A and B are shown apart, each in its own frame.
Chain A
Amino acid sequence: MQMPTPNPQILAKKARIVERLRAVLPRDSVIEDEAETRAYECDALTAYKCPPLAAVLPSSTKEVSDVLRICWEEGVPVVPRGSGTSLAGGALPTADCVILGVARMNDVLETDYDNRVIRVQTGRTNLSVTGAVEEEDFFYAPDPSSQLACAIAGNIAMNSGGAHCLKYGVTTNNLLGVTMVQMDGTVVEIGGAHLDSGGLDLLGLICGSEGQLGVVTEATLRILRKPEGARPVLMGFDDNEVAGACVADIIKAGVLPVAIEFMDRPCIEATEAFAKAGYPMCEALLIVEVEGSDAEIDEQLALILEIARRHNPVELREAKDADEAGRIWLGRKSAFGAMGQINDYMCLDGTIPVSELPYVLKRIGEMSKEYGLGVGNVFHAGDGNMHPLILFDANKPGDLELCEAFGADILRLCVEVGGCLTGEHGVGIEKRDLMIDQFAPEDLEIQMATKDVFDPQWLLNPAKVFPLESSQSRRATAMAAE
Chain B
Amino acid sequence: MKPVTENDLSEIVKGASQPFHIRGGGTRNIGKPVNGAVLNTEGLSGITLYEPGALTLVAKAGTSLAEIEQALDAENQRLPFEPMDHRGLLGTSGTPTIGGVVAGNVSGPRRIQAGACRDFMLGVRFVDGTGRIIKNGGRVMKNVTGYDLVKLMTGSWGSLGVLTEVSMKVLPKPETAACVLINGLSDAEAVSVMSKALGSPYEVTGAAHTSSGVDGDPVTMLRIEGFEQSVAYRADQLQALFSEHDVTIESDPAKVAAGWEWVRDVQPMHGTSGDVWRFSVKPSDAPALVEALKAEHPVNRTLYDWGGGLIWVETDPGTNLRPDDLAGHATLIRAEEKTREALPVFQPESAGLSALTTGIRARFDPKALFNPGLMSA
Contacts and interface: CB of A to CB of B under 8 A. Distances in A.
Contacts of A480: none
A254 B173 contact: yes
Contacts of B174: 254
Contacts of A198: 280, 329, 331, 346-347
Contacts of B115: 169, 173
Contacts of B364: 446
Nearest to B280: A194
B136 to A, nearest CB: 7
Interface string B54-97: 11100000000000000000011000000000000000000000
Interface residues of B, number: 83
A247 to B, nearest CB: 8
A296 B128 CA distance: 48
B198 A116 contact: yes
A136 B369 CA distance: 52
Contact of B134 (A114, A418, A435, A446): A446
A254 B133 CA distance: 36
Contacts of A182: 352
Interface in B129-185: 132-136, 138-152, 154-156, 160, 171-175
A114 to B, nearest CB: 5
Contacts of A418: 138-140
Contacts of B342: none
Interface stretch (B1-9, B19-27, B354-362): B354-362
Interface in A172-204: 172-173, 182, 186-190, 192-204
Contacts of B51: 353-355
B309 interface: yes
Contacts of A170: 142
A226 B199 CA distance: 9
Contact of B142 (A200, A385, A442): A385
A292 B230 contact: yes
Interface stretch (A337-345, A395-403, A423-431): A423-431
Interface in B272-286: 280-284
A454 B141 CA distance: 28
B227 interface: yes
Contact of B172 (A208, A251, A453): A251
Contacts of A192: 282, 327-328
B227 A200 contact: no
A256 B201 CA distance: 16
Contacts, number: 259
Contacts of A295: 229-230, 233
B375 interface: yes
A335 interface: no
Contacts of B171: 256
Given A188-B353, A202-B357, A195 B309 contact: yes
A449 interface: yes
Contact of B140 (A195, A226, A423): A423
B145 A200 contact: no
Contacts of A228: 201
B71 to A, nearest CB: 14
A249 B7 CA distance: 38
Contact of A383 (B52, B76, B141, B152): B141
Nearest to A202: B356
Residue of A188, A204, A354, A443 contacting most chain B CB atoms (<10 Å): A204
Given A192-B282, A205-B149, A228-B201, A200 B160 contact: yes
7 contacts: A200-B152, A202-B356, A225-B201, A252-B52, A299-B229, A385-B141, A427-B146
Given A115-B195, A202-B357, A228-B201, 8 more contacts: A172-B148, A192-B328, A202-B152, A355-B53, A426-B144, A427-B145, A451-B147, A453-B356
Interface of B: 51-56, 75-76, 105, 107, 111-112, 115-116, 118-119, 128, 132-136, 138-152, 154-156, 160, 171-175, 192, 195, 198-201, 226-227, 229-230, 233, 280-284, 306, 309-310, 327-329, 331, 346-347, 349-350, 352-353, 356-357, 359-360, 362-364, 375
A-B CB proximity, top 3 nearest: A204-B151, A248-B53, A423-B142
Interface of A: 112-117, 137-138, 158-159, 161, 165, 169-170, 172-173, 182, 186-190, 192-205, 207-209, 225-228, 247-249, 251-256, 292-293, 295-296, 299-300, 351-355, 380, 382-385, 418-427, 431, 435, 438-440, 442-447, 449-454, 465
